[in-house]
Every structure is written in C-alpha cells, then in structure tokens.
Structure 1
C-alpha cells in the first residue's frame, strides 16, 4: 500500500512537471516564436529519466523532439529566406512549422490530461 502511494505521488509530481513544461514551451512559442524554449528543454532532458516507467516519460521525449524538429524547420526557413527566390517559400515553411508546433503542444497537453502516452 505504501509503495503504491509513493508511485502515485511520484507519477503525479512527474505529470505536474510535464504539464508546466508544456505551458512554458507554449509561452515561449507564443511570445518569442520558441526562442526561449531552450529553458524548458533543459528541464525535459534532466527530468525525463525521473519519469521512466510511466507514460509521462513519453511526454518529455515528445517535447524534446518537438523542439528539435521545430528548430530544424525554422532554420530551413531562415536559409530559404536569405535567397532571393526563397522568401515566399520561407514564410510558408515558417507558417507550417508554427502550426505543427502548436498542434504538438496542444495534443501533448490533451493526452497528458487524459493519462495517455505519446507515440514514440
């Protein structure tokens, strides 16, 4: 019984942290286009192993992958932007990356609330 209580407390604590990291990623995303997402990213890396054995670990990995893929596509857009022909295409890439990242943050929050693991 006590061991189950410790696991439930650890799981809830881990879930709360993942929730707040989604919020911080979202705030950074909305107000700085993700420029400050490296702060919650570091916490995702540090705390991911603490969530091993729970569905919450997949949420840390989901946030980490979301960050790196978003950065990749924003960089691709930046490289396109510096070419003469690529500016309209750059805006398209940036817009699609923004929508994709917003989807991943919202999907992650909803699934975390429903106690669902994220796909690997």
Structure 2
C-alpha cells in the first residue's frame, strides 16, 4: 500500500487527529486500569470507524480493534496458566502486555508519521 502524504492529512481537522491520539493513549494506558480504558477505546473505535471516510484512519481503527481482540484472546487462552503456579501465568501476561504495548506505540508512531499501521 502506498504511503499517505502528510499534506492529505492536513485537510483533516486537528480534532480528528487528536481523537486518534486519545484512542491510542487509552489503549496504551489500558493495563493500568484493568483493561477498562481499552474497552472504552474499542467501543469508540467501532463508532468512529463507521463514520470514517479516510482509508488511513479506517486502517488505524481496524489496527486498534484487532490488537484489542487478539490481546483478549491470548489473555483467555493463557489464563489457565495461573492455576499451574504464579510464575507461568505472570510470565504469559507479561509477554502479552509487552506485545500489546509494542502494537500501541508502533501504531501511534506510524499514525503520527501519516503511515498505515502495518
């Protein structure tokens, strides 16, 4: 996919860009709120994605939504590790947290550069 020209993004209101930054921020800080900020953010992602015309913004909404659902899936799959002992569960959740943080920061930085998330 071709890189998006930053001049195209200038046509967007600064509120649209700020809203995307807020969504990325909510996703990034979600672990400190037991996931509640991520739930709020993903609901907002779904709402805004339906009204979005710009393909770059749609891609970033989809990226945040898929990151949320894949993270939730891996948390559910690895939850039984907590029954084995503390360390396996903690290690699995730490790895999932690192992956989630990486995806959030990577997407946020690519959005700031006007590039698609992938």
Interval of TM-score (by shorter of Structure 1 and Structure 2): 0.7 to 0.9
What residue number does 2:102 align with? 103
How many residues end up aligned between the 2 structures?
Answer: 110
Structure-1-length-normalised TM-score: 0.78
What residue number does 1:18 align with? 20
**Structure 1 residue ranges without an equivalent (≥5):** 1-6
Q: CA RMSD in A?
A: 2.2
Structure-2-length-normalised TM-score: 0.79
**Structure 2 residue ranges without an equivalent (≥5):** 1-9
Q: In terms of Rg, which structure is larger?
A: 1
Matches of 1:13 and 1:51, distance apart in 2: 14
Q: CA deviation at 1:87?
A: 4.2
Matches of 1:95 and 1:68, distance apart in 2: 17
Which protein, 1 or 2, shows the higher relative CO under an 8 Å CA cutoff with sep ≥ 6?
2
Matches of 1:109 and 1:101, distance apart in 2: 12
1:74 paired to 2:63: no
